Amino acid sequence: MNKIKKICYEPIGYICTEHKDPNQVPVQPIYAKGFKGYVKLRPEFVAGLEHLEDFSHIFLIVHMHLKKEKKLKVVPFFHNKEKGIFATRSPARPNPIGLSLVRLEKIEGNKIWVSDLDLVDGTPVLDIKPFTKQLDSRQNTRDGWVDQIDPEEAKRKGRRQIK
């Protein structure tokens, strides 16, 4: 099989939020409740948004552009023991792709307003997909070290500076 060795994308847009400092951005959408921002979509893609507003939640697939360091083992933000990078959501991964499941508020032209946003201003957006509970939710799962997290502590820690 002739394997593809390199894959290049152009961003379809960029994240606009008040958070310029990655150390102040909340970690994970569920700890970013109510925090708003928008995707500024490249104008040539606006026709691709038709019917998206009928969905309450969307996936943003982004390039975590600020993370330069790559590691195979990390101590996760919400835990205290080292794990393999693929068992975490850390941005220090071989390909720093981020997956954020956010709430869609409204679409105004090329601005896709969302809340529960855990991304820093200027983050390049690679793709937007509708979330549906039918296709994308699972209930009977084993969640590894994430099951050991204290929810209250994670909420406080994940939310960071946001009131």
Tell me, by CB under 8 A, how many residues bind a copy of itself.
73
Asked if 47 is part of the footprint of a copy of itself (rule: CB under 8 A), the reply reads yes
The residue within the footprint of a copy of itself, chosen from 34, 48, 75, 161 (CB under 8 A), is 48
Helix (H) or strand (E) holding 41: strand 36-41
Residue 7 CB, nearest approach to a copy of itself (Å): 5
Give dist(CA 120, CA 26) in Å, integer.
Answer: 9
How far is the C-alpha of 16 from the C-alpha of 7, rounded, in Å?
Answer: 26
CB of 31 to a copy of itself, least distance (A): 9
In the bound complex, what is the minimum distance in angstroms from residue 43's beta carbon to a copy of itself? Answer: 12
Q: Which of 97, 134, 98, 122 is nearest to 39 (CA)?
A: 122
- Taking the C-alpha atoms of residue 20 and residue 79, their distance in angstroms, rounded to an integer, is 25
Identify which of residues 28 and 36 has a Cβ nearer to a copy of itself in the complex: 28
Residue 104 to residues 44, 76, 162: CA-CA distances in angstroms? 21, 28, 20
**Residue 30 binds a copy of itself, judged by CB under 8 A:** yes
Does 85 help bind a copy of itself (rule: CB under 8 A)?
yes
Residues from 122 through 141 that contact a copy of itself (CB under 8 A): 122, 124, 126-141
